[in-house]
Amino acid sequence: MSSRATKRKKLASAAATLAGDDYHAAFAIWSRERGVEIGNVTAATLPGRGLGLITTATIAKGNRMLFVPARAMFMPDMPLLKKHKLAQASPQAQLAFSAMAASKTPGMQIWQATWPTDEDFERSLPMRWPVQVRDLLPPSIDQPLRRQEEDYRKDWLSLRDSASSGFPFDEQLFRYYWSIVNSRSFHWKPPKGRPGSMVMCPFIDYMNHGPTGTSCDILQRPNGYEVLAERDYESGEEVLATYGAHPNDKLLVHYGFVLSGTIVRNIDDDVRLDQTLLPAFSTEVRKQLRDVGFLGGYALLPASNELCFKTQVAVRAMLLTCNEWEYFMGCGEDLTEDQGKAVASFVRPLLRQFRAQAIEKLDVLQTVKFETGLEYAVSTLRTRWEQIVSAIDAFTGA
């Protein structure tokens, strides 16, 4: 794991250029006019990471960096949604449609100028990639990617079928705003029991993702969101916000990137093993695991070089008697001697088979000539497969 000093590497050097474009300055002015409190932070272009938020002065732990009042958030336009018969659409579809409908207003145009473009999403999101590239995704991404596509399709159909014809519904435009909401929204719960919704928060949305233990504190207050420093900052450090304790597979599907460890290692990462382990389990064992809710969800945890608890339980179902297995499942300890070595011995040859598959994918990514515009997708896939190989090698001792 990279050192804490590396994680706190100052970015206000020649390598990190303050985003001095007029639209960022205009957005800061627009945000302040709406009550957003912007402390000693600013947008910056970071090498290899796009836009981010960095400090412009020292900030002590616990001090406020940002405050976004509720009135500055972009929320679903409920009168408009009711007019177009979308009051029952998903929260994501409601916010995306509202943003699309407001896209020509001056305020929204100022904000939109700081967002990723549709071309950025085409380049980075697996749901936008052609089949030739998607076939090279790790198998663990198949299910979340299919779920994402199903959610999008359901939202688009609800928009197309339920809304009145008085609005020019364009699928490509809706897909863009749907992607924006998917990657930049917050869940806002108003006080006094009022219904919650998905919202977008100006200036907080500059912040890049940080895994567990590396991000600032974003707190919902009765009147807005407050961003507090979780540690002392020097001038020029990047301020991160956690999008959740997400492994790299989920980050890739929803946000279009993986953390590679060059700046911040993803300690929340895992290598999913369902496709590797499930075929090795007997029919009876699979039935037993299903009955107790342990069928699937297996993972190797690179940060600790361990198998997750569900994997430990599942493999022991193949190796132990019923009493021994149930004892471990109940308390996390083996009834007699430690069976950790036996579990590892069962898993290692299966992981080596998975490693061989990973090498095959890497060979394709290295040798096949892909069309122009897919460079980022190919590079990201290569990084992800290399992470998988590295994790397997560490566990198997290769």
**From edge to edge, which strands make up the β-sheet containing 299-301?**
271-272, 299-301, 306-307
Asked if residues 40 and 55 have their Cβ atoms less than 8 Å apart, the reply is yes
3-state SS assignment for residue 18: strand
- Give the alpha-carbon dihedral of 41, 47, 51, 53, to 10 degrees: -20
Asked whether residue 190 falls in the same domain as residue 86, the answer is yes
Q: Is 260 inside a domain boundary?
A: no
Of 164, 179, 200, the domain-final residue: 200
Mark whether 39 and 127 lie in a shared domain.
Answer: no
Of 159, 180, 200, the one marking the end of a domain is 200
User: Cα torsion at 124, 130, 135, 140 (round to 10°)?
Assistant: 40
pLDDT given at position 4: 36
Claim to verify: residue 293 and residue 366 sit in the same structural domain = yes
Q: What would the pLDDT profile of 49-77 be if each residue is shown by its tens digit?
A: 789 999 999 999 999 999 999 999 999 99
Order of strands across the sheet that contains 17-18: 17-18, 41-46, 50-55, 238-241, 208-209
Residue finishing a domain among 157, 184, 200: 200
DSSP helix, strand, coil percent of the chain (3-state; round to 5): 50, 15, 35
Q: What is the pLDDT along the chain (398 residues), one digit of tens a residue?
A: 333 333 333 333 323 444 445 889 999 999 999 999 999 999 998 887 789 999 999 999 999 999 999 999 999 999 999 988 888 999 999 999 999 999 999 989 999 999 999 999 999 999 999 999 999 999 999 999 999 999 999 999 988 877 555 666 789 999 999 999 999 999 999 888 788 899 999 999 999 999 988 899 999 999 999 999 999 999 999 999 999 899 999 999 999 999 987 666 799 999 999 999 999 999 999 999 999 999 999 999 999 999 999 999 999 999 999 999 999 999 999 999 999 999 999 999 999 999 999 999 999 999 999 999 999 999 999 999 999 999 999 999 96
Which CATH number do you get for residue 56?
Answer: 3.90.1410.10
Q: Is 95 in the same domain as 172?
A: yes
State the pLDDT at residue 313: 97
261 falls within a domain = no
Query: Closest Cα to residue 65, out of 88, 44, 42?
Result: 42
Of the CA atoms within 13 Å of residue 146, those in its CB half-sphere come to: 5
Indicate if 195 and 218 belong to the same structural domain: no
Structural domain boundaries enclosing 57: 4-72+201-255
pLDDT at 2: 37
In a domain, 246, yes or no: yes
Dist CA 236 CA 54 (whole Å) = 6
Percent of the chain with pLDDT over 70: 92
Q: Domain for residue 391, yes or no?
A: yes
Query: Does a structural domain hold residue 388?
Result: yes
| Structural domains in the chain (count) | 3
pLDDT value of residue 196? 87
**What span, in angstroms and rounded, lies between the C-alpha atoms of 285 and 276?**
15
C-alpha to C-alpha distance for 51 and 207, rounded to whole angstroms: 8
**Does the pTM exceed 0.75?**
yes
Q: Answer yes or no: do 215 and 120 share one domain.
A: no
Residue 319 is predicted with a pLDDT of: 97
CA dist 373 and 370 (Å) reads: 8
Q: Are residues 223 and 179 in the same domain?
A: no
In this structure, the answer to whether residues 178 and 87 fall within a common structural domain is yes
Residue 70 · residue 190 · CB < 8 Å: yes
In a domain, 265, yes or no: no
- pLDDT of res. 388: 97
Whether 89 and 191 map to the same domain: the answer is: yes
Is residue 219 domain-shared with residue 285, that is, in the same domain? no
**Would you say 55 and 68 are in contact if contact means Cβ atoms under 8 Å apart?**
no
Return the sign of the alpha-carbon dihedral for residues 48, 52, 55, 61.
negative
Tokens representing residue 2 in the block: 């990279």
- 83 lies in the same domain as 229: no
Task: Note whether 186 and 38 are same-domain residues.
Answer: no
Of 335, 382, 341, 311, nearest to 137 (Cα)?
Answer: 382
